[in-house]
Amino acid sequence: MDNETQAVTRVDIEVAASLIAGAVRRTPMLDGGAEFFGTSGQVVNKLELLQHTGSFKPRGALHRALTSDVPDSGLIAASGGNHGLAVAWVAQRLGVPGEIFVPEVSPPAKVDKIRKLGATVHVTGALYDDALAACRTRQLETGALDIHAYDHDGTIAGAGTIGLEIEEDLPDVDTVLVSLGGGGLSSGIAAWFDGTGTKVVVVEPETSCCFSAAMQAGEPVDVTVAGVAADSLGARRIGETNWDALRHANALSITVADDAIRDAQRRFWSSMQLVVEPGGATAAAALWSGVYVPAANETVAVIVCGANCDPASVTT
């Protein structure tokens, strides 16, 4: 990949950061201490679940909108839930209509939040890709700006601003653990740290692992989508742009069991009183389950990327 052009660069991400500054939150980093994860070395949580709408998604959605011509018909998107919340939030900020397509697997709590932000919501199809197909058909009718959940340079650059913040707040970071659904967040992180020596480790559920499958096949392939995080990490195939960025940065791939994700959710609640959705807890699950074991002096950042779930599913 060394002789190929990197689509999204650090400069692109710096520009994105300047455009969205003041609108999105600079989320905190919390050192849980080695005893929190039961590891040696330093492990710090990037609490992106404290972002507007409860996930990292507003960064990419807002940047995509601000760098595009937004028509009077507004914004349209397909989403498992979190991206739809972000696009609805952006539409509200810009004063334009928002139309969101979500699959039946989307939690009712997320769907209700999207509606409360003023967007029109269509629940259609079993999984994300079904909602995406319906969204594309509708976009041809309305001409609204389609803000893809992950497979677009503007979305990737916005997500990459998380990497910029991690580097500024934790200059000696050796490794970043990040979850992956279609690849928007992870490819943004990979684009920021590409060539810096910081290792990017992509963590996916065993039940929905399009990056792992692509790594094994040598190219993006369709996978079966199931499991506890299917609403947020439920793409059938990794995005082409995302795949290219992750390969360019030599990102690593690991998978974790659904039980490990649920355990991570419970630990975040019992130790920090944080309600973390399954997709948001997936990266941390790699540490608690022992799938990823840091070296003695390794400094690790864990992106905790979402909070949109029923609190009762975590606290009881």
- Beta strand 42-47 with 29-31: parallel, antiparallel or unpaired? antiparallel
The answer, yes or no, to whether residue 308 has pLDDT greater than 60, is yes
- Same domain, residue pair 92 and 133: yes
- The domain of 23 spans 10-56+152-315
The total domain count for the chain is 2
Stated pTM of the model: 0.95
pLDDT tens-digit map of 6-49? 789 999 999 999 999 999 999 999 997 667 888 878 999 999 99
pLDDT tens-digit map of 244-290? 999 999 999 999 999 999 999 999 999 999 999 999 999 999 999 99
Confidence of residue 3 (pLDDT cuts 50, 70, 90): very low
- Beta strand 75-78 with 42-47: parallel, antiparallel or unpaired? unpaired
2 inside domain: no
Q: What tokens appear for 207 in the block?
A: 């039940």
- Same domain, residue pair 138 and 285: no
pLDDT tens-digit map of 185-218? 999 999 999 999 999 999 999 999 999 999 999 9
At 2 the pLDDT is: 40
Q: Average pLDDT, stretch 111-127?
A: 96
- Same domain, residue pair 80 and 30: no
Measure Cα distances from 110 to 3, 130, 143, 231 in Å: 42, 18, 25, 10
CATH at 265: 3.40.50.1100
CA-nearest of 63, 58, 70 to 27 is 58
- Same domain, residue pair 180 and 293: yes
- Same domain, residue pair 156 and 270: yes
Q: Taking all residues of the chain, what is their mean pLDDT, rounded to a whole number?
A: 95
At 96 the pLDDT is: 99
The answer, yes or no, to whether residue 294 has pLDDT greater than 70, is yes
Which of 95, 117, 146 is the endpoint of a domain?
146
Q: Average pLDDT, stretch 148-174?
A: 98
